[in-house]
Amino acid sequence: MSALDRSSMRRSESLEEIDEGLYSRQLYVLGHEAMRRMAKTAVLVSGMKGLGVEIAKNIILAGVKSVTVHDPGNTQWSDLSSQFFLSESDVGRNRAVASQQRLAELNSYVPVTAYTGELSESFLTAFQVVVLSNSPLEEQLHVSDICHARSICFVLADTKGLAGQLFCDFGENFVVDEPAEAEPVSAYIQHISQGIPGVVTCRDGQGHGHGFADGDFVTFLDVEGMSQLNGCAPRAIHVLDEFTLEIGDTGSFAPYQRGGVITQVKVPQLHSYEPLRAALAKPKIKAMDDRGHSLHLAFRALHAFAAEMGHLPRPRAQADAERLLELARGLTAHQELLDEGLVRTFAHVSAGELSPMAALLGGLAAQEVLKAASGKFLPLAQWLYFDALECLPEEGTALLTEESCAPRGSRYDGQIAVFGADFQEKLGRQKYFVVGAGAIGCELLKNFAMIGLAAGEGGSITVTDMDTIERSNLSRQLLFRPRDVGKLKSETAAAAVRRMNPTTRVMAQTHHVGPDTETLYGDDFFTALDGVANALDSMQARAYVDGRCIRYLKPLLDSGTEGTKGHVQVVVPYLTQSFGSPPDLTESAVPLCTLRHFPSTIEHTLQWARDEFDGLFKVPAENVNKYLEDPAFIEGQWTTQDLEWVRSSLQEKPCSWQDCVHWARQRWESLYRHAILNLLHAFPPGHETSPGVLFWAGPKKCPRPLEFDCDNSTHMEYVMAAASLFAQTHRLQVPRDRTAARETLRAMVMPPFQPESGVRIPVTEEEMEEAPAGVDEEQLAALRQELAECRQALLEGGHSSTHLMEPIHFEKDDDSNGHVDFIMAASNLRAANYGITPADWHKSKRVAGRIMPAIATTTAAVAGLACLELYKLVWGHKDLSSYCNSFLQLAEPLLARFRPLPPPDTYKYGQETWSCWHRVEVPGIGAHGEELSLQELLDQLQVVHGLPVRTVLCGVTILYASFWAKQKREAQLTCRLTQLVSGPPGATWQPPQILVLDLVCEDQQDDDVLPPVHVRLPCG
């Protein structure tokens, strides 16, 4: 059996029934054990309006055992404003029955059935989790009592207009196996005192504080002296400050000497929950405040109102609002805690059904269902209330009346009830650009279709994405189905949205958005937009789009997720700060000296192995091919080492499988034995940087060389994977025979280790960056001559094509190609060198492939929050406090909303400052109706704006400089602006609508930065 077959079998056994190809990104959020528990959980979701279908959609995509959808009611027009699996033809049909087939198509592993009968005790006992939405209080209490008595996890969710509630009861003895999402915290020990309690002084790998929280449990590794702590049972800690913590009794232990790592241990927690009947009277509300208390009373009063009147309060009906307030007052003895204005506003909008609210609460509720099913992450205790009443018009309720919010027999009646008919028409006229049609893009487009964005005359949505659909997308990108794999995301998403709402005017494109497509997405395109929504993974791409929005003064909705964490940022011209710039957004890189010589975490060894992959199987092959195909290659700016790699690749060309195994074994010896012996030769285990200060301490782990062993599975996995890839890159078709490899290995004799002399090993990043020693020009010239002669000989002999190589590009999503197998083996061998705990195949794949953990619940919630901000943009809100940036972490659960920051000063000239949104605007047509000359532009800048210009630039091209010769200046000043920036003679060139220029002024100080000049040209 080959190494690849063996590793495939291991993965299959470990996954059992879990389809990693489908759930790969979600597995990195939940893990295999949690997903196995989910696959045994049957869930009932009652209520198939917008919120119910969101919850069902999310848990079906996640992969529970089965989902039963329940609703005794029939589809109404108002349902279509948020229920994306119902259509106009379904009006009058049962909601559950009409939704069942479309829900079932989401995931073939999850059977979906529809039920329209009574929620009896005998029926409910078939489920492990029961979810109620759009349910009357009497039914909520009845079902909750049954579930609590039967230890069935119970989730209650509801949205009314711009407010929502969520309640969880997981019984009196619910075990949370893994409360937190984050990886366990570790720190390096500097000292441990003997005492009651013992005090540990420690820091993380970067010298910062330890990162532990009070009440965490920890264990210890590699402690010298106080060795009784090594591998001890988890100990609870008490944090003293950022560098010290108490760990209990250490008085009887041996004195601490040196070293050691303290690591957090995730300990299961037991939680107890009250049933709904008790929790209504004495609510535990997350982030309890007067607003949450008032919303709790408002929802209770709403049930009483509906029971009394037979309907919900009518939109903007003052009498109904006053009656609801009266009922709310009767539910509390603390009148001073009741926000009466909030309750009245709640009453005015409570008849509404909004897709963004359903998406947000549906994501939150579905994550609680998954917690109940899996025991993963901390459940809600026990109530959560949310409102976005700031989405209503800033001018006050005068814009909204009973008449304007009355139903029209329209699919948007649920939204008109909140915002009125005029606002609905305004939504229909919007022109929006959606960049990206992945998970967030799909959710945004679905919400846009539901709210009627660009569904009217003059409206449009342009969505662009270059990518095609992969199978791993299907577990979180709701617009795609198995039949769509291989199709373009943007086109498939647009077609799906049109099926949800046929009036949506959406156009799909397949272009990258960047500097190279500014002819497509330029002045004409951006100036016509009302706004942009980012749905991108890349920080650099998001920052680029942000820059375009700044240039064209367009609002931007930016969203992102990682696992159960998500954020939304709204960017409003002149009102908020921009998204950011790439230097602020790049991840901090691991120092090169750490990767090469001093790894301390498995992430370090995995990054090292990933670099090793490219250095062995990609870069050399690319250089050899360039060398063989381009005669000028060897005269390029190459180092001696680069050319030596080309020579060795030619010399090492294998002829057989045994040659490949021989090469892999030599590489093993070089990396895991000789390199380590050289490092220890330079810095022996007892080496001191100064008297009493050991070199090998803290994050610097003293390595040990390995001895090759054919019977060690990791050793053999490395040889098999490396030899297979080496054969592939040399285009050698040979059977990957493990038995033959073992025979070759046993016959090999490795030369003894000889320390390298005169080699300086850099210890710090500064030493790594020091200029390399001077190049031996004579040696380099000789090497170039040798390679030139070799190339000539290959050409004359007709053998150059046989030496062409196949560069191997790392591909994380093909589990059969051996790429992750090589990286896992290479990384774990290096981990063995340094005493680091190895990584399994799945973690190796995630880190090496830079895979972002993702789950549908977070994506849905984030898209809902983004669309709430969209409402405000369409209204044209001018008050900064109306807008909200959001951060959520569903694992906790945490939902934080906060006011965006105003834009900081970006530009300065003299005593005046401006934000990034400012520009000096100049009309491109002069007094006589002709395009401005450069002289006329300078005159306007001087007279109108007080800017004595010294230099004018367009991009990197200087259009004018006062230091030029007089003749050149005068000739330039007479030219029209389009003459100065036009392309080369004869080239096709389309003049821009807006010419952007940068200035330097005569009296400009060193710290002055002038805003750009925007000249609107007549040709636009």
Handedness of CA 116, 119, 125, 131 (dihedral sign): positive
**Cβ pair 905, 890 in contact under 8 A:** no
Cis peptide before 893 (omega within 30 of 0): yes
Q: What angle do CA 366, 372, 376 make, to 5 degrees?
A: 95
Residue 277, Cβ neighbours under 10 Å: how many?
14
- How is 368-403 classified by DSSP, letter by letter? HHHHHHH-BSPPP-SEEEEE-GGGS-TT-GGG--TT
202 is known as an active-site residue: no
Q: What angle do CA 949, 951, 955 make, to 5 degrees?
A: 125
Alpha carbon distance 479, 436 (integer Å): 13
Alpha carbon distance 180, 897 (integer Å): 21
Give strand pairing partners of 952.
960, 999
Tokens for 949, please give them. 């210009």
User: CA gyration radius for the chain?
Assistant: 33
Alpha carbon distance 1019, 487 (integer Å): 39
Handedness of CA 543, 544, 545, 551 (dihedral sign): positive
Alpha carbon distance 222, 240 (integer Å): 23
Alpha carbon distance 39, 31 (integer Å): 12
Residue 67, Cβ neighbours under 10 Å: how many?
28
- How is 826-890 classified by DSSP, letter by letter? HHHHHHHHHTPPP--HHHHHHHHTTPPP--HHHHHHHHHHHHHHHHHHHHT---GGG--EEEEET
Alpha carbon distance 83, 522 (integer Å): 36
Give strand pairing partners of 565.
562, 889
Alpha carbon distance 783, 634 (integer Å): 9
Q: What angle do CA 305, 70, 87 make, to 5 degrees?
A: 90
Handedness of CA 283, 288, 289, 295 (dihedral sign): negative
Tokens for 489, please give them. 């995301």
Backbone angles phi, psi at 932, to 5 degrees: -65, 145
State which H helix or E strand residue 676 sits in: helix 675-682
Looking up tokens 């020091």 gives 770
Cα dihedral value 360, 363, 368, 373, nearest 10: 170
**Cβ pair 355, 82 in contact under 8 A:** yes
**Cβ pair 157, 135 in contact under 8 A:** no
Tokens for 319, please give them. 């009498």
- The one catalytic residue among 391, 405, 549, 593: 593
- How is 257-286 classified by DSSP, letter by letter? -B--EEEEE---EEE----HHHHHHS--BT
**Residues designated catalytic:** 593
